[in-house]
Amino acid sequence: MLLHVSDLIKTYRGPDGAVEILNGISMTMNRGETLALTGESGSGKSTLLHLVGGLDQPDGGCVDIDGVDICALDDASRAAVRRDKVGVIFQQFNLIPSLNVASNITFQARLAGVEDPDWTRNLTTRMGLADHMGKYPEQLSGGQQQRVAIARTLAARPALVLADEPTGNLDEGTADTVLDLMLTLVAETNAALLMVTHSERLAMRMGRRLRLRAGRVA
Amino acid sequence: MRRPSLTMTGLHALLSHWWRNPIQLFTLVVGLSLATALWSGVQAVNAEARASYDAAAATLGEGEFEQITSDSGMILQADYVRLRRSGWLVSPVVEGQLDNARLIGLDPLTAPNGLGPVDMSNGQLTVDMLTSGVFFARQETLDLLGEYDISLVQSPDVAPGVILTDVGTAQRLLEMDGFLSRLIVAPAQPMNQVLFTDVTPKLTLRTPQNGTDVARLTDSFHLNLTAFGLLSFAVGIFIVHGAIGLAFEQRRPVIRTLRALGFPLRRLMALIAVELLALSLIAGAIGVGLGYIIAAALLTDVAATISGLYGASVSSTLQFRPEWWLSSMVIAVAGTGMAAATSLFQLSRMPLLASARPRAWAMQAGRGRMYQAGVAFGLLILAALLGLVGSGLIAGFGMLAALLIGAALALPVVLDRVLAFGTSRAKSVIIEWFWADTRQQLPGLSLALMALLLAMATNVGVSTMVSSFRLTFTGFLDQRLASEFYVYANDADQAAELQIFLTPRVDKVLPIQSVDQDIRGLPSEIYGPTAHATYRDNWLFLQSAPKAWARIESGEGVAINEQLARRGDIAIGDKITIAGKLFDVLGIYGDYGNPIGQVIVTEALFERLFPDSRALQFGLRMDPVDVPALTNELRNSFGLAETNMINQAGIKAFSLNVFERTFNVTGALNILTLAVAGFAILMSLLTLATMRLPQLAPVWAQGLTRARLGRIEIIRAVLLALLTAAFALPLGLALAWTLLAIVNVEAFGWRLPMYLFPMAYLRLAVFAMIAAILAALWPSYKLARTRPADLLKVFSNER
Ligand SMILES: Nc1ncnc2c1ncn2[C@@H]1O[C@H](COP(=O)(O)OP(=O)(O)OP(=O)(O)O)[C@@H](O)[C@H]1O
Ligand SMILES: [Mg+2]
């Protein structure tokens, strides 16, 4: 099993005391699986994704990636798990503004020491990014930026890909193309994909669906 | 219920930003205050040091004038009247001891312009003087006096221990009715003048004293300190500019919202202008106070030295001089105004929506940078041209300004290229990101870095200048004031008596013979000192032929001073004519402070060339402790006036001591400048920190810890400081060179040699690094402690 989440709890301090956002979430994922995470706005989808990726700390329960309980790790070791095992794609601001496209794409792979030039070239050609390698993020359109973010994540061949509304800023046509590419590539690298989406249409194309309501899996 | 006016609502919104972000307000006020404090501190130290020097160097400035004296020390008032009647423009002086002070009576109506530090020739004071009498002195001097029926005027510019008054009052109090001490001869005299000896055969006309050399030397030093003041001003302006720019940058969202809600642009701009004016006044006042404290702390040193020389009669307190605190307030307000004008202009031109997000300082428009590079290049070329072909003091200062502004503008451009090169050469991914990210910070940091550059260049320039000056000065004093005591005889007979009197009383009497003669059409003096180890040991040549001293001593050739060499275009090996005979120039020596040319020949040669000349001056080698006793004896036995005896050992010790203290003071000011620049870096880093999250969050999400990002932040600051230091060193040396070799030559006609002090530069680089680390410490700590939630917001927020 690649991902094992059990009894995850997360609370935020609100104006009227603590608010439980996640209230005992449990789930598992294997390599090669794709899972759509849906739910109303504010239901805690992003929060769950962040906890799974080791980007934030839960208030209870644990997240287990490849047999390692990441909640018990210190900051540095959690960063290492993020670097080596997980790839995250957000709705926006995925890219490092000071680096050009080529450097952005290889960043995580080089950081994790797993850069594979042939694979990177393959990725960039299929993503249609070959002509933009020397550009800076601010010189790209939103769809292009998201493609760079996906290429960047997959270049490092992470075991677990987390995506938070990666196509939320894109029009339908572009969103479909980007998702197609993502699904194909995830399948090729035998990774697991956990994707937050608002779109039923996109969710239907994923292997499994999980709906959050009132801090629990509905 | 009254509805709040539109203006009040707007003001409330603007001010609420500071309320919510007190640290930003704090940094703005502190930045403005520090810039003001820097300027006002330097000004205060300068003004005070100058006042001390001036008082010390020449009590009355009377050394510049020819004087008429008498062997007896007294001149009949009738003789003075006869001289005036015959057309001589002379002015009487009466001096003597009153209680524990030196009372000097002058005649305000006949005294030449510029005599004395107090302008006694105007208005009510003159009337008072002519009726009941007025004492001008420092407060401490006035405190020494007993009861006199005379008005007292406190004047800090009078030398310590001296009271100035009018001739009549002085005569009355000193019981010298009908007598004068000496007469000062105005520089401009009528054309058809009767011979002076025809009018008063018993009196002697004396040329100005050589003692003013020291005064000229310190003048040069002051010019350089003034330049330092200007530099600190530039540093201050950069910091003010940075602080105000950031204040605008930080409030873009508020401003945008106000405008989106229909707040009139003009009123908004007026509100901001008024707000900034108020802030600059407050910060300026704090700055003046700070500057005063700093200067007072630094000055106890200088004051202590002067008290040491004059007894307890010198104030160790700083005068709260209006010229420096006013100028400081002007700096604060004008600097703020200048900086705000640019920002307000931008605001007036800004499209409504563009002001939403703090400007992505990322990758500034390439065109702007090209333009900046062009201006910088033009200014540097101009500086080089002025250095090569320009002449005159204006050209010298123009060159300084062009050099500094050009270099400051060039700094971001150069750093950008260096960082781009680093990015392209990086092997590891983190290092590549580090270079690229540093490059991205550059526009936001460049004002602070420019301030650091100027601070460091000033440091290098001024410490090089002051150290070179001190080294030269020490050597020069050892050389020129080698004897402990100098005595000037009034005439040849007295000289002969003096020599007989002095020989058994001191270690060695060194007669100094001299005649005035034109060399290559330039007024010069020929000296024939007695050959003595004193000279051989102490004289250093700027340039010389091989075995110069031996050959000069054998009468083969002569040595000349630098002024003569420069003005007469005379080089080593050239020949000059003295008393109709040709001599080789074998050595050229530094003669700092002397306005005219000078030639040194041996005593034997001098006697051959000028057989009729008799030495009127004597250098005395003796135990410095015995100087005061000998002074007394000479006064009593020969009636020699104070001005006939110069205690060079005292002057030398005093000068060196004051110099040493000044050196320490400049050192402290250097550190202060650096600290202020460091603070500017801190301000910029703090402001950037909030805008930097979108740049850092992706790196963090991909596996770099916050702690590591924090450490990288410190390394970045150190790297930028070191790069700036590397740029500042050549700039500072160019600055020192300009001051010593151009400005000084233009102003005074001699060139101070420039020495290098690598250890001082190294120490400076270390200081700059420490300043950078201190500046980066807090932002780095804050970054390392950023909550993940704040980083995550980057990815989900509509920014
Ligand atoms: N840093 C925080 N402090 C306090 N409350 C927070 C914080 N972050 C999120 N929340 C709250 O937690 C809840 C869940 O937020 P989350 O971002 O996970 O929702 P989401 O399901 O991703 O919504 P959306 O579909 O709009 O992206 C929201 O009610 C939000 O207000
Ligand atoms: Mg969300």
Residues B366-415 have pLDDT tens digits of 566 788 889 999 999 998 888 888 777 778 878 888 898 899 999 999 99
| Beta carbon of A158 within 6 Å of any ligand 1 atom | no
Q: C-alpha distances in angstroms, B68 versus B166, B193, B490, B682?
A: 19, 16, 10, 64
Question: Which residues face A69 on adjacent strands?
Answer: A64
**pLDDT at position B729, please?**
93
Q: Is residue B474 part of a domain?
A: no
**pLDDT at position A208, please?**
93
Nearest to A97 among B695, B702, B792 (CB): B695
**pLDDT at position B661, please?**
65
| pLDDT tens per residue, range B462-484 | 788 777 877 777 777 666 666 77
Q: Which residue, judged by its Cα, is nearest atom 31 of ligand 1?
A: A42
Q: What is the DSSP letter of B739?
A: I
Q: What is the C-alpha to C-alpha distance for residues B609 and A113, in angstroms, rounded to an integer?
A: 90
- Ligand 1 atom closest to the CA of A44, numbered from 1: 18
**pLDDT at position B613, please?**
80
Half-sphere exposure for A132 (CA within 13 Å, toward CB): 22
Q: How many beta-carbon pairs below 8 A join chains A and B?
A: 96
| Beta carbon of A46 within 6 Å of any ligand 1 atom | yes
Q: Is there a single domain that holds both residue B299 and residue B345?
A: yes
Residue B256's pLDDT band (cuts 50, 70, 90): confident
**pLDDT at position A105, please?**
92
For ligand 2, the distance from its centroid to the CA atom of residue B789, given in whole angstroms, is: 13
**pLDDT at position A38, please?**
93
Q: What is the C-alpha to C-alpha distance for residues B709 and B700, in angstroms, rounded to an integer?
A: 8
Q: For a substitution probing ligand 1, which of A9, A10, A23, A43 has the most ligand atoms within 8 Å of its CB?
A: A43
Residue type, B477: L
Q: How many domains does chain B have?
A: 4
B420–chain A Cβ distance below 8 A for any pair: no
Q: Is there a single domain that holds both residue B97 and residue B121?
A: yes
| Beta carbon of A12 within 6 Å of any ligand 1 atom | yes
Q: What is the DSSP letter of B1?
A: -
**pLDDT at position B357, please?**
42
Return the structure tokens found at B701.
């999400």
Q: What is the C-alpha to C-alpha distance for residues B74 and A22, in angstroms, rounded to an integer?
A: 107
Nearest to B705 among A75, A90, A138 (CB): A75
Comparing CA positions, the residue from A107, A153, A156, A109 lying closest to residue B432 is A107
For ligand 2, the distance from its centroid to the CA atom of residue A94, given in whole angstroms, is: 15
| Beta carbon of A42 within 6 Å of any ligand 1 atom | yes
Nearest to B697 among A93, A99, A138 (CB): A93
| pLDDT tens per residue, range A134-155 | 998 888 888 888 889 999 999 9
Q: Which residue has the higher pLDDT, B659 or B40?
A: B40
Q: Is residue B362 part of a domain?
A: no
Spell out which residues of chain A touch residue B702, defining contact as CB-CB under 8 Å: 82-83, 88, 107-108, 111
| pLDDT tens per residue, range B130-148 | 566 778 877 777 777 777 8
Report residue B635: phi and psi, to 5°.
Answer: -65, -45
Q: For a substitution probing ligand 1, which of B787, B796, B798 has the most ligand atoms within 8 Å of its CB?
A: B796
Q: Is there a single domain that holds both residue B321 and residue B227?
A: yes
Q: Is there a single domain that holds both residue B414 and residue B494?
A: no
| Beta carbon of B789 within 6 Å of any ligand 1 atom | yes
For ligand 1, the distance from its centroid to the CA atom of residue A21, given in whole angstroms, is: 8
Q: Is there a single domain that holds both residue B633 and residue B488?
A: yes
Task: Tell me the residue range of the domain where B593 lies.
Answer: 479-652
**pLDDT at position B230, please?**
67
User: How buried is B276 (Cβ within 10 angstroms: 0-12 exposed, 13-18 middle, 19+ buried)?
Assistant: buried
| pLDDT tens per residue, range B649-675 | 666 666 666 667 666 767 777 777 788
Mean pLDDT calculated for residue range A3-16: 89
DSSP B180-203: ESEEEEPSS--SSPPPHHHH-TTE
Report residue B509: phi and psi, to 5°.
Answer: -100, 120
Q: Print the SS3 string covering B398-443.
A: HHHHHHHHHHHHHHHHHHHHHHHHHHHHCCCHHHHHHHHHHHHHHH
Classify the C-alpha dihedral B419-B424-B426-B428 as positive or negative. Answer: positive
Mean pLDDT calculated for residue range B567-574: 85
Q: In B251-264, where does DSSP find H-type helix?
A: 252-260
Mean pLDDT calculated for residue range B185-190: 73
Q: What is the C-alpha to C-alpha distance for residues B279 and B274, in angstroms, rounded to an integer?
A: 9
Count of CB atoms within 10 A of residue B784's CB? 16
Q: Is there a single domain that holds both residue B487 and residue B599?
A: yes
Count of CB atoms within 10 A of residue B592's CB? 25
Residue B304's pLDDT band (cuts 50, 70, 90): very low
Count of CB atoms within 10 A of residue A58's CB? 22
Q: Which residue, judged by its Cα, is nearest atom 29 of ligand 1?
A: A42
Cβ of A90 within 8 Å of Cβ of B433? The answer is: no
Cβ of B440 within 8 Å of Cβ of A57? The answer is: no
Cβ of B694 within 8 Å of Cβ of A93? The answer is: yes
Mean pLDDT calculated for residue range B534-559: 77
Identify whether the C-beta of residue B61 lies closer than 8 Å to the C-beta of residue B117.
yes
Residue type, B475: G
Q: C-alpha distances in angstroms, B64 versus B165, B180, B515, B758?
A: 20, 20, 19, 40
- Ligand 1 atom closest to the CA of B790, numbered from 1: 1
Q: Is there a single domain that holds both residue B152 and residue B137?
A: yes
For ligand 2, the distance from its centroid to the CA atom of residue A55, given in whole angstroms, is: 14
Q: Is there a single domain that holds both residue B407 and residue B317?
A: no
Nearest residue on chain A to B441, judged by CA atoms?
A98
| Beta carbon of B582 within 6 Å of any ligand 1 atom | no
| Beta carbon of A41 within 6 Å of any ligand 1 atom | yes
Q: Is residue B762 part of a domain?
A: yes
ipTM, two decimals: 0.82
A160-169, B559-568, B593-602: range with lowest mean pLDDT: B593-602
Last residue of a domain, one of B591, B625, B652: B652
Residue with tokens 């203290």: B661
Q: In B481-543, where does DSSP find H-type helix?
A: 492-502, 533-538
For ligand 1, the distance from its centroid to the CA atom of residue B540, given in whole angstroms, is: 82
Nearest to B702 among A75, A103, A107 (CB): A107
Q: For a substitution probing ligand 1, which of A9, A16, A47, A90 has the most ligand atoms within 8 Å of its CB?
A: A47
Classify the C-alpha dihedral B462-B468-B474-B479 as positive or negative. Answer: negative
- Ligand 1 atom closest to the CA of A13, numbered from 1: 4
For ligand 1, the distance from its centroid to the CA atom of residue B164, given in whole angstroms, is: 83
Q: At a CB cut-off of 8 Å and minimum separation 6, what does B670 contact?
A: B458, B459, B462, B463, B764
Last residue of a domain, one of B652, B667, B697: B652
A179-188, B207-216, B565-574, B587-596: range with lowest mean pLDDT: B207-216
Return the structure tokens found at A21.
């956002």
| pLDDT tens per residue, range B485-510 | 888 887 778 888 888 888 888 888 88
B356–chain A Cβ distance below 8 A for any pair: no
The mean predicted confidence, pLDDT, of chain A is: 89
Q: Is residue B213 part of a domain?
A: no
For ligand 2, the distance from its centroid to the CA atom of residue B793, given in whole angstroms, is: 10
**pLDDT at position B693, please?**
83
**pLDDT at position B170, please?**
86
Nearest residue on chain B to A74, judged by CA atoms?
B705
Q: Is residue B361 part of a domain?
A: no
**pLDDT at position B300, please?**
61
**pLDDT at position B680, please?**
79
Q: What is the C-alpha to C-alpha distance for residues B272 and B344, in angstroms, rounded to an integer?
A: 8
**pLDDT at position B480, please?**
65
Q: Is there a single domain that holds both residue B340 and residue B276?
A: yes
Return the structure tokens found at B73.
């020390």
Last residue of a domain, one of B598, B619, B652: B652
Identify whether the C-beta of residue B138 lies closer than 8 Å to the C-beta of residue B155.
yes
**pLDDT at position B362, please?**
38
- Ligand 1 atom closest to the CA of A43, numbered from 1: 21
Spell out which residues of chain B touch residue A112, defining contact as CB-CB under 8 Å: 703
Cβ of B433 within 8 Å of Cβ of A103? The answer is: yes
Q: Is there a single domain that holds both residue B227 and residue B166?
A: no
User: How buried is B370 (Cβ within 10 angstroms: 0-12 exposed, 13-18 middle, 19+ buried)?
Assistant: exposed
B795–chain A Cβ distance below 8 A for any pair: yes
Q: Is there a single domain that holds both residue B391 and residue B515?
A: no
Residue B121's pLDDT band (cuts 50, 70, 90): very low
Comparing CA positions, the residue from B784, B791, B764, B777 lying closest to residue B715 is B777
Q: At a CB cut-off of 8 Å and minimum separation 6, what does B153 contact?
A: B125, B134, B135, B136, B137
Q: Is residue B11 part of a domain?
A: yes
Spell out which residues of chain B touch residue A57, defining contact as CB-CB under 8 Å: 788
Question: Which residues face B106 on adjacent strands?
Answer: B93, B166
Q: Is residue B431 part of a domain?
A: yes
Answer whether residue B124 shows pLDDT above 60: no
Return the structure tokens found at B144.
């020494």
| Beta carbon of B797 within 6 Å of any ligand 1 atom | no
Chain A interface test: which of B432, B696, B702, B716 (most A C-beta within 10 Å):
B702
Cβ contacts of B765-770, under 8 Å, gap ≥ 24 = B765/B722, B765/B725, B767/B671, B767/B674, B768/B452, B768/B456, B768/B674, B768/B721, B768/B722, B768/B724, B768/B725, B768/B728, B769/B718, B769/B721, B769/B722, B769/B725
Residue A69 C-alpha, separation from nearest chain B C-alpha, in angstroms:
17
Mean pLDDT calculated for residue range A108-126: 90
What is this structure's pTM? Answer: 0.69
**pLDDT at position B477, please?**
67
Q: Is there a single domain that holds both residue B618 and residue B668?
A: no
Q: Which residue has the higher pLDDT, A117 or B642?
A: A117
For ligand 2, the distance from its centroid to the CA atom of residue B679, given in whole angstroms, is: 40
Nearest residue on chain A to B699, judged by CA atoms?
A96
Q: Is residue B294 part of a domain?
A: yes
User: How buried is B221 (Cβ within 10 angstroms: 0-12 exposed, 13-18 middle, 19+ buried)?
Assistant: buried
Give exposure, B253-269, as e/b (b: 16+ Cβ within 10 Å): ebbbebbeeebeeeebb
**pLDDT at position B313, please?**
33
**pLDDT at position B534, please?**
58
Comparing CA positions, the residue from B236, B241, B253 lying closest to residue B291 is B236
